[in-house]
Structure 1
Amino acid sequence: MNSDPTLLGTVEDVSGASIRIKLAQGTVSGLSFIEGQSYRVGQVGGFVRIPLGFVNLYGVISQVGASAVPERLAEIEEHGNRWMTVQLVGEGHPSAGFDRGISQFPTVGDSAHIVTELDLRTIYGRPNDRRYVQVGRLASANSIPALVEIDKLVTRHSAVVGTTGSGKSTTVAGILTALSDAENYPSARILVIDIHGEYGKALADRAAIFRINPDTAKGERALYIPYWAMTLDELLPVTVGSIENGGDRGAVIDKITELKLGALQKSAKPGVSSDSLSVDTPVPFSIHKLWFDLHCEMRATYYEKQGQPQTRATWALEKGADGRPLHAGDAMRGIPPRFLPPKDNKDDPEKIRLSRSNLGIGRPIDALGSKLRDPRFDFLLRPGPYTPDEDGRVKQDLDSLLAGWLGDASPITILDLSGIPPMIQSELVGSVLRIVYDALFWARNLPEGGRERPLLIVLEEAHSYLDPRQIAAVAVRKIAKEGRKYGIGMMLVSQRPAEIDQTILSQCGTIFALRLSNSTDRGHVKGAASDNLEGLFAMLPVLRTGEAIIVGEAVNLPVRTLIDRPDSRRRPDSTDPKVVVPGTEEEGYESPGGWNQKRDPADYAEAVELWRRQNSRSNRTHSDVEVEVAVSETEGDKA
């Protein structure tokens, strides 16, 4: 028998960071007791310690049994199942603590030991250090907190992946709750892009919530994304669409630049002059005037007057009995003028000619006019106090917008995009992220910049808009590659990592991998992880709900963790509804919901009202529903 109860065996093969260990003759697989604590011997995902003088190497078990036997010994090894493959990940020094990376490698014959709870405390045990935040507890040692380093988590980016129902949203809510603790991190700055409106309920007491249809009674604010803060390549797809012809595109660029220049001359903006202005400079201009002018340039008809140019004064408009124009149009309301058709009769002295414009963008301009009249686009094309008048003047500028998104007294800002038309979701997410990135990039030497007060951007359901072909991927790719230098970090949250641009996913230094059943998704996560841990990732399909494998830079060792569940008030609005609600089966018991509740009279009038309003928040309370049901039942009894 072994004199040292922690001894596993000896190193017999070294291949870079991957080593093979042969179990000692006296090592018994299964359950082992050391100093009153039980340990599972030979578990995939377990830890191994290899002493080298004053240094301890640490590794993670990735294979156990016959598959771990070196190929040249597979046929002659008598006990071929007493091998394990270990991936080295870091080393511990008595004075310096634990560090990722390996400065020296083991040699054949070095002993390998079980990592005990005391060792784990040396590696993970910093619960009172503000540089670390607790996200759960080790699955292998429930008394030891699972800690992640905040610096690495934020600036080196991270990803939370897991199939539907694996506890992904709850994990994110728990992490954000810990990071926004006012006592430890009073200047935390987190921006959540929430496309399904899940996190407002969970973080309401510590977040500024922006929605398209806000509930002002609850302190929510209106979400506005000013179109004039977008670049040309962001603006065109969500307004006029694609313009392929170079001449037509150039004419639109010239017109936008002209409008911005005119607005700048009437209302000066610090930092920009007529010489430095470009079509992408975030200067307010009226898109309503842009539409009106281009529409009239192409569609207007004119009374022919010899020697006079075609101007607004010579428009051939429909007129009423009093001779006044019936429909002269209204640029700010998106209403076009009504022009008389061309007329060229010989005997008629009053001839009407069509505009001589060479522009061929009639359909794109009509599409823009339709959006100007569509209330679904008001958050973008009529952005409240950021809406320019026809001269380009606005009540509030971008400093007010950024103060709301990034400088609020609340540590978390939630941009609820659930009311945005799906066809422009990717473009708007990309625009928001680009606006935020540009603002912090140019403010990098100011207190408002990201270097002094870093920003964490959380991208919920990232697979919906981070396909490599979508425009949002361009902005996120830039943040992934360059954001670290300017204090901008991101956290991707996705149930389909295979649909995310692999360039973006590979930049995530830390991965929280919850249960993943799809082999393609697991392959993408494994390829993006910084550690070679195939055996550990093979466990992803069988993880329990709320259990995660955390790998990467923010954790000292890859760790299998039971994530701390936040209390019921802080859980996202993404829980599965109960088909059957368990409860007391005594006589008279009424279930609060599910199929086993007492059937109530149905009234879908309010459902249709909410559908038309595009807002799921009802004005009725639960007591109102109970009163209506009671009245309905009483009337039924009388009948």
Structure 2
Amino acid sequence: MLEKTMSQTAAENPAAARPSGAGGKRKLRVGEVVSVNGSHALVMLDEDRPEIDRVHKPQLGAILAVDTGACIVLGLVSAMSVPAPTLDSTGKDLRLIELELIGEFTKPTAKAPARFRRGVSTYPTLNDEVQLAAREELAALFAANGSASVRIGIVKQDAAIPATVSINDLFSRHCAVLGTTGAGKSCAITLMLLAVLERYKNGHIVILDPHNEYSHSFGDRAVVFDTTNLTLPYWMLTFEELVEILYPGRVNCQEEIEILADLIPTAKKMNLSNSVSGIKLMAGARGDGGTITVDTPVPYRISELLTLIDKTLGSLDNTRTTAPYKRLRARLHGISQDARYGFMFGGLTVQDTMSDFLGQLFRIPVEGAPISIIELGGLPVEVAQVIVSVVTRLAFEFGLWSHGAAPLAIIVEDAHRYAPAQEGAGFGPTRKALIRIAKEGRKVGVSLWVASQRPTELDATILSQCNTIFAMRLANQADQEALRSAVPDASTSLLSCLPSLGLGEAIAVGEGVPLPTRIRFDALPREAVPRSLTASFTDGWSVDVDDKAFIARIVEQWRAQKMLIPEV
């Protein structure tokens, strides 16, 4: 249960230390309770009063207060209506507001200050007066808990009240940022990460960037990787990942897969026997390498696999047909020569670089740059899927074997690409790795942030495990329904605002925020705004392309599989 005393925020905001009804400025009455049903109350509004200006009139998402005597109950405006409008312009219409009861302030005593807590212990009764929540109540409600929280924007109801997030809850219980294209998801993620890193400079954050838009947002605090400087050794792949690369869909290749499963452990043992660290590992594995499996992340050479295949082909006692061996040999040779996988198979030598690779990827030590950005834009889908799969799996296993000593955060843009809702869609290992982090990452110190414009296409398990959700503008009805199924019942009424949210606005719900509320994110500095590469048809069609080498350069990039992003 969330509990917060007024005195906790007194040092930062003196007004917040003075609870409503205890010497504070008298609040404005807006109506009275006419019905109470479980966690909901119905309020009949008073006639319009000149002292309540339009800005402070109750609106959807606003917080109102009901003094029940023992405490002050707070309610969220979830609906407004005039059930029987009159035709006479001078008539007095019956105006009703529906409230979701979200929590209460206890009244201060000589022994204890006022305290906010979720849930309601004393319900409003009929004819109880309903008032606008006082600024000091809102300030105490949304105030930061010292260094444990950071400001990310303002509360829409009152621009003087900062919107804050709890850092530990935001990261340990996962986070989702959802909204249609152009709603401001990337800016929101950048803003929150910058706010956290201002206070905690030694984070370990990996951003998987499918649009190459974050590279300049963090300046010197980020190291950017793409396929020109990223070396991801193939021997770090699990057997399942390697098979998915060699045989997507696994159609008519069962014999080759079985052969590969037999040969890889042998190739690993051959390579280990030639190194000091390998001999030590073999000695710890009962002396015969018995624990060296097809998934053990130790180096081996593709050339050793090919040699083993050739030996088997030349063996007289080989009872299998030679065709699957020849097909496997051709496939291994082909993938090792494929320019798209040069970052994985292109090394001339094979060395045990796992420690160095993990240190660079997860920024250990930080050395002033706590963020790794892996640019996936322009890569073939299957290549990007492999990178996401390996990085997310390594993150979880690193957290597991380090017992969470260096907590990691993985930010996945366009998460529906990598963990689709449909069971058989996408790259299987990637989906499994993301689901595993969503389910078990909290225990091993691995946080998952997902961003998506299509919640309905994102795996429901992952979305349900994100205990903090920032829902930005969403117009699609199916996406809204998918989101409603993932948030607590007490927050669903706020989601009716989703289609009409402005740029940079969000409905924030979950463990990372004090209460479900509508917020507006702070503006980013111009230099930190993620880069959007939306093509301009009007600019492109205004002039002719008279450079004869234009297409030749494109063909050259195409063949080399190297995407050059123009400067914007």
- For 2:296 and 2:436, how far apart are their aligned partners in 1? 19
- The correspondence of residues 420-439 of structure 1 with structure 2, limited to 5 A, is 420-439=379-398
Any idea what the Cα deviations from partners look like across 1:143-167, whole Å, max 9, x if unmatched? 2221111111111111111111111
Aligned partner of 2:177 in structure 1 is 160
Shift in Å, 1:522: 1.0
Task: Report how far residue 257 of structure 1 moved.
Answer: 0.9
Q: Name the amino acid aligned to 2:95.
A: R
User: 1:231-281, CA deviations, whole angstroms, 9 ceiling, x for partnerless residues?
Assistant: 111211012442767665333211111111222222234666213221111
2:417 aligned with 1:417, yes or no? no
What is the alpha-carbon distance in structure 2 between the residues aligned to residue 615 and residue 608 of structure 1?
A: 14
Does the 8 A contact of 1:28 with 1:41 survive in 2? Answer: no
Task: For 2:141, give the aligned amino acid.
Answer: I
Q: Aligned to 2:147, what secondary structure does the other structure show? A: coil
Query: Mean alpha-carbon deviation: is it higher for 139-148 or for 605-614?
Result: 605-614
- Assess if the C-alpha contact under 8 Å between 2:102 and 2:118 holds in 1: yes
- Say whether 1:517 aligns with 2:461: no
Which of the numbers 556, 563, 566 marks the counterpart of 1:615?
563
1:602 aligns with 546
Whole-angstrom CA distance in 2 between matches of 1:32 and 1:457? 50
Q: Does 1:86 align with 2:86?
A: no
Query: What is the count of residue pairs matched by the alignment?
Result: 514
* 1:152-186 CA-partner distances (Å, limit 9, x unpaired): 111111111111111121222212221222xx212
Instruction: Name the structure 1 match of 2:334.
Output: 370
Separation (CA, whole Å) in 1 of partners of 2:517 and 2:564: 40
Structure 1 position 256 matched with structure 2 position 264? yes
Query: Which amino acid counterpart does residue 258 of structure 2 have in structure 1?
Result: G
Selected match of 1:403 from 359, 373, 382: 359
- How far is 1:579 from its partner? 6.4
Structure-1 separation of matches of 2:533 and 2:382: 26
Q: Which amino acid aligns with 2:297?
A: P
Partners of 1:240 and 1:365 within 8 A in 2: no
Name the structure 1 match of 2:291.
276
Taking a change above 3 Å as real, the CA distance of residues 424 and 292 of structure 1, as seen in their structure-2 partners, is farther
Q: Distance in 1 between matches of 2:291 and 2:114?
A: 53
The normalised TM-score by structure 2 is 0.82
Distance (Å, rounded) in 2 between the aligned partners of 1:28 and 1:544: 28
Please give the alpha-carbon distance, in whole angstroms, between the structure 1 residues aligned to 2:146 and 2:540: 45
Give the Cα–Cα distance (whole angstroms) in 1 for the partners of residues 523 and 347 of structure 2. Answer: 38
In the other structure, the counterpart of 1:131 is: 148
User: How many angstroms does 1:5 deviate by?
Assistant: 5.1
Q: How big is each residue's C-alpha offset from its partner over 1:391-425, in whole Å with a ceiling of 9 and x where there is no partner?
A: xxx1x421111100111321111111225321243
Q: Among residues 504, 519, 522, which one is paired with 1:561 in the alignment?
A: 519
Asked if 1:231 corresponds to 2:190, the answer is no
Given the alignment, which residue of 118, 130, 152 partners 1:112?
130
1:138–1:146 CA contact under 8 A, matched in 2: yes
The correspondence for 1:51, drawn from 55, 67, 77, is 67
Cα distance in structure 2, aligned partners of 1:536 and 1:67: 21
In the superposition, relative to structure 1, how do residues 11 and 253 fare at CA in structure 2: closer, same or farther (>3 Å)? same
Q: Distance in 2 between matches of 1:551 and 1:519?
A: 19
Inter-CA distance 355–486: structure 2 relative to 1 (3 Å threshold): closer
Q: Secondary structure at the match of 1:370?
A: helix
2: CA distance, partners of 1:283 / 1:610: 39
Distance 1:91 1:382, change over 3 A: farther
Which residue does 1:151 correspond to in 2?
Answer: 168
Q: What is the CA-CA distance between 1:358 and the residue it aligns to?
A: 5.4
Give the aligned residue type for 2:241: E
2:43 equivalent in structure 1: 22
Which residue of structure 2 lines up, in the alignment, with residue 10 of structure 1? 32
Change in Cα spacing, 1:611 to 1:81, as seen in structure 2 (3 Å) is: farther
For each residue in 1:509-547, what CA deviation from the matched residue of structure 2 results, as whole angstroms up to 9, or x when unmatched? 111111111111111111111243333211111111111
| CA spacing shift, 1:246–1:611, aligned 2, 3 Å | closer
Alpha-carbon deviation of 1:496? 1.0
Q: Which residue of 1 aligns with 2:13?
A: none
Equivalent position amino acid for 1:60 in 2: L
Alpha-carbon distance between aligned partners in 1 of 2:156 and 2:358, rounded to the nearest angstrom: 41
8 Å CA contact 1:46–1:60 kept in 2: the answer is yes
Instruction: Give distance in 1, aligned partners of 2:544 and 2:255.
Output: 64
Give the superposition deviation at 1:499.
0.6
* Cross-structure match for 1:382: 346
Query: What is the alpha-carbon distance in structure 1 between the residues aligned to residue 242 and residue 400 of structure 2?
Result: 21
Superposed CA offset, 1:86-118 (max 9, x none): 222333345364344445544444443222322
Partner Cα separation in structure 2 for residue 521 and residue 295 of structure 1: 54
Distance 1:460 1:225 in 2: 20
Is 1:459 the counterpart of 2:412? The answer is yes
In the alignment, the residues of structure 2 paired with residue 414 and residue 172 of structure 1 have an alpha-carbon distance, to the nearest angstrom, of: 13
CA distance in 1, matches of 2:67, 2:406: 41
Aligned residue number for residue 481 of structure 1: 439
| Distance in structure 2 (CA, Å) of the matches to 1:462 and 1:363 | 35
Matches of 2:473 and 2:555, distance apart in 1: 34
Shift of the alpha carbon at 1:594? Answer: 7.4
CA distance in structure 2 between the aligned counterparts of 1:138 and 1:194, rounded to whole angstroms: 29
Task: Provide closer, same or farther for how the CA distance between residues 281 and 531 of structure 1 changes in structure 2, counting only shifts above 3 A.
Answer: same
Q: Residues 106 and 232 of structure 1: is their aligned pair in 2 closer, same or farther, counting only changes over 3 Å?
A: farther
Q: 2:400 aligns with which of 430, 441, 450?
A: 441
In the alignment, the residues of structure 1 paired with residue 201 and residue 71 of structure 2 have an alpha-carbon distance, to the nearest angstrom, of 38
Q: How does 1:349-360 map to 2 (within 5 A)?
A: 357=321, 360=324
Hey, what does 2:19 align to over in structure 1?
none
2:390 and 2:489 map into 1 onto residues whose CA distance is 34
The structure with the largest alpha-carbon Rg is 1
> Which residue is equivalent to 1:212?
227
Contact 2:263 2:308 in 1 (8 A): no
Matched-pair contact (CA < 8 Å) for 1:100–1:556 = no
Aligned match of 1:287 in 288, 302, 305? 302
Secondary structure at the counterpart of residue 170 of structure 1: helix
- In structure 1, C-alpha distance between the alignment counterparts of 2:476 and 2:394, rounded to whole Å: 35
Structure 1: unaligned runs, 5 residues or longer: 69-77, 214-221, 301-308, 312-353, 389-393, 445-449, 581-592, 623-639
User: Is residue 2:528 matched to residue 1:570?
Assistant: yes
- Structure 1 Cα separation of the partners of residues 502 and 72 of structure 2: 31
Task: Give SS of 1:533's match.
Answer: helix
Q: Which residue of 1 aligns with 2:140?
A: 122
Q: TM-score scaled to structure 1, two decimals?
A: 0.73
Letter in 1 for 2:104: E
Cα contact 2:78–2:493 (8 A) shared by 1: yes
Identity %: 30
Q: Distance in 2 between matches of 1:154 and 1:611?
A: 43
The whole-number CA distance in structure 2 between the counterparts of 1:295 and 1:27 is: 91
Q: Separation in 1 of the partners of 2:533 and 2:68?
A: 49
How far has the Cα of 1:377 moved from its partner? 0.5
Which stretches in structure 2 are left out of the alignment for 5+ residues? 1-24, 85-90
Post-superposition shift, 1:480? Answer: 0.9
User: RMSD of the alignment, in Å?
Assistant: 3.2
Matched, 1:171 2:188: yes
Q: Kindly indicate which of the two structures has a greater share of residues assigned to helix.
A: 2
